[in-house]
Every structure is written in structure tokens, then in C-alpha cells.
Amino acid sequence: MTAVIVRLVAVASLMFALLAAELAATFAFPGWGRGGVAIVAATMVGVAAVGFMDLGQEGATVWLFAAAAALWLIILLGLGSLDPLTRTLYLTINITP
Amino acid sequence: MSDAEAHEFQFGSAERQHEAAISGMWLFLATEALFFGPIFLSWIYARHADPSAFDAGSRHTALMIGLTNTGLLLASSFTYSVGLACIAFGSRRGMVIWLAIAWALGAAFIGLKFGVEWRMDLKEGLFPGPNFAIHGPARSGAQLFFAFYFFGTALHGLHLVVGLGLVAWIIFQAERFTAERHSPVRVVGLYWTFIDIIWLVLFPLIYLIGRAS
């Protein structure tokens, strides 16, 4: 049991360290910008899934469902944001008589 | 307890029953991820429409409360996992104590979010509508931000309230669980951590991205 508790303490410490890194990316290193915050947040999600939800110890079915969720989200967010992020807005002039 | 006693009749073994329960929960969580996906997509759309005004709205949020709440949820995921380890090693008393701590941390999140932060936001006139407090060119984008903020946090809070009910149920049913048979504790733990994960996405979208710009 001690080994499990030690592992959980390590995971929790890593999560709090990543939270500190997220704050650092926001305030202390403006050069990292929004990309830095997004990368740290995605890492935190991954660490929580593996460290607290024990994804690494699950079987093929669970991995299939987790991968399906990730794939659906990538399709939803990727294709969904393609339009606003690639659209160019041109100024138009309305001439009213 | 023999293997035949440790599983329901429709499963070939206790191991198969446990596998079905865990897989079923992960499938449910996959649908939940898709449930929250469009909310995150709406953030991308709304921010892209007017980034500076949207970020101006974000800078009106209470960062310290958001940060404290993130710490509370991270700690609650940790304490729940310790509780799960306790029952896996046969300590029912340890499980109850750690799950009670996880429940209290979750309840503290709800109290801070809706009892303090929302009350402050509403008092400052940050609810979108004719009485919205932010004026000038950022008004429209900031209203979009606070529409996302109130909807996203309300939906997350609703999930957390359901999670609190489930954790309380596990605590009150503690007598049923043993080292060999505790799948419900594991299944509720997956849901509990998933709520944490949703907040780990909401937290930067609400409090940090606007300040990082």
C-alpha cells in the first residue's frame, strides 16, 4: 500500500507543479503566451487520466473508449474551429443614397 | 468470499463484472467529453469574434478564487484515489475517512464557486444583459465571455453536485465493499476525477488565457 500512496503523492505533486507552471506561463513568461498555457493544461489532463484514473493499467476496451473520446473531440474542435480560424473578414463600405 | 458469490449471475466471473463496469464508465465519460466539447468550441468561436473584448471580460474574473478551487479539486482527486487504495488493501475505515475528505473538498469548491464567486460577479453586474457593468467597445465581447463563464461553470457545478451525491452514497454504503469487491468505488472515482479534468480545461479558458494575451 505504501508504494501506491507514494505514487499518488508523486502524481499530486506533479499536478501542483504543473499548475504553478501554468501560472508562470501566464504571468512570468509572457513569451510562452496562450500556447504555453494550453500545452501545460493538456499535460495536466493527461497526468490526471494516467495518474488518478489508472488509464495505463486498463485493458484494450477502456483504451478504445478513451481513444474514441479523444478522436471525437479532435474532430469536433478541429473541424469546428477551422472555419472561424481560417476565415478572412474584409471591410465593406455601405453607400446609402 | 468465493468467486461465485463475488459476481452477479449474468457475468462469468468477478473479473468480467469488474471489467464491464469500468469499460461502461469509460464509455459514459467519452460521451461526457463530447457533451462538454461544444462548450469549448463555443469559447473558440466567441473569442475569435472579438479577442480583445473577450479577454477584457476574462480579466474581470476572480483569479484567486479560481486558483483555490483548482487546488481543492486536485486535492480531492488525490484523496479519493487514496481512499480507493485503502479499500483495495482491505481498509474500509481508511476508505471512509479519505472519501469524506474528498467530499468536503468538493463541497468547499461548490461553496466558493456559487456562494462567494458567483455572488461577487452578480453584485458587480457581470451577468450578461441590459445592466451589464462593462461599457465601451469591449461590452459586447465581454458579455459573450460571461455567457460562456456562467453556462460553463453552472454545467460543471451540476456535474460536481451529482459527484458529491455519488461519493456520499459510497460512504453510506461502505459496509458493502471489500478488498475483493469494490467496483462501484472505482467507477465513482473515475467520474470524480473526470469532473476534475473538465475543470482543468475550464480554468485556463476562464482565468488564464485572457490574462496571458
Q: Domain range for residue A35?
A: 2-86
Give the pLDDT score at B49: 85
Contact (CB<8Å) A8/B19: no
Total structural domains in chain A?
1
Q: What is the mean pLDDT of residues B109-118?
A: 96
Residue reference for cell 480554468: B203
Q: What is the mean pLDDT of residues B52-56?
A: 90
Q: Which of B34, B48, B88 is the closest to A73 by Cβ?
A: B34
> How far apart (Å, rounded) are the C-alpha atoms in residues B166 and B173?
10
Q: What is the mean pLDDT of residues B85-109?
A: 96
Chain A residues whose beta carbon lies within 8 Å of the beta carbon of residue B22: 58, 62
Q: What is the mean pLDDT of residues B180-204?
A: 94
Give the pLDDT score at B1: 47
Assign B127 to helix, strand or coil. Answer: coil
Q: Under the phi-then-psi rule, with left for phi > 0, alpha for psi from -120 to 50, and beta for the rest, what region is A6?
A: alpha
Question: What CATH code is carried by the domain that includes residue B93?
Answer: 1.20.120.80
- Residue to substitute from A26, A27, A64, A74, interface B, most B β-carbons within 10 A: A26
Give the pLDDT score at B17: 82
Assign A88 to helix, strand or coil. Answer: coil
Q: Domain range for residue B52?
A: 35-212
> How far apart (Å, rounded) are the C-alpha atoms in residues B30 and B23?
11
Contact (CB<8Å) A58/B44: no
The pLDDT of residue B4 is above 50: no
Chain B residues whose beta carbon lies within 8 Å of the beta carbon of residue A11: 78, 81
Domain-located, residue B185: yes
Contact B167, B102 (CB under 8 A): yes
Contact A49, B11 (CB under 8 A): no
Q: What is the mean pLDDT of residues B165-177?
A: 95
Domain-located, residue B68: yes
> How far apart (Å, rounded) are the C-alpha atoms in residues B158 and B120?
20
Domain-located, residue A33: yes
pLDDT grade for B196, boundaries at 50, 70 and 90: very high
Q: What is the mean pLDDT of residues B171-195?
A: 93
Contact B188, B167 (CB under 8 A): yes
Q: What is the mean pLDDT of residues B5-30?
A: 83
The residue among B70 and B10 whose pLDDT is bigger is B70
Domain-located, residue B16: no
In eight-state DSSP terms, residue A58 is: S
Contact (CB<8Å) A26/B212: yes
Closest CA to B195 of B159, B165, B170, B171: B159
Task: Please give the grid coordinates belonging to residue B24.
Answer: 461502461
B122-156 burial code (b ≥16 CB/10 A, e <16): eeeebbbeeebebeeebbbbbbbbbbbbbebbeeb
Q: What is the mean pLDDT of residues B130-142?
A: 89
Contact (CB<8Å) B190/A11: no
Q: How far is B123 from chain A (nearest CA, A)?
A: 27
Chain B residues whose beta carbon lies within 8 Å of the beta carbon of residue A36: 212
Contact (CB<8Å) A23/B213: no
Give the pLDDT score at B78: 97
Residues B116-133: tens digit of each pLDDT: 999 999 999 999 999 999
Domain-located, residue B11: no
The pLDDT of residue B2 is above 70: no
Query: Which of A55-69, A75-89, B145-159 is predicted most confidently?
Result: B145-159
Task: Please give the grid coordinates belonging to residue A55.
Answer: 488509464
Task: Please give the grid coordinates belonging to residue B144.
Answer: 459573450
Give the pLDDT score at B199: 97
Contact (CB<8Å) A73/B33: yes
Q: How far is A94 from chain B (nearest CA, A)?
A: 21
> Mean pLDDT for chain B?
92
Domain-located, residue B28: no
Tell me which amino acid residue B23 is: S
The residue among A59 and B65 whose pLDDT is bigger is B65
Contact (CB<8Å) B193/A16: no
Q: How far is A92 from chain B (nearest CA, A)?
A: 17
Contact A44, A15 (CB under 8 A): yes
Domain-located, residue B5: no
Instruction: Give the contacts of B105 (CB within 8 A, at least 6 positions apart).
Output: B72, B73, B75, B76, B79
Contact (CB<8Å) B45/A84: yes
Q: Which of B71, B78, B201 is the closest to A41 by Cβ?
A: B201
Distances (CA, A) of A3 to A10, B64, B142: 11, 34, 48
Total structural domains in chain B?
1
Task: Please give the grid coordinates belonging to residue A46.
Answer: 493527461
Q: What is the mean pLDDT of residues B174-203?
A: 94
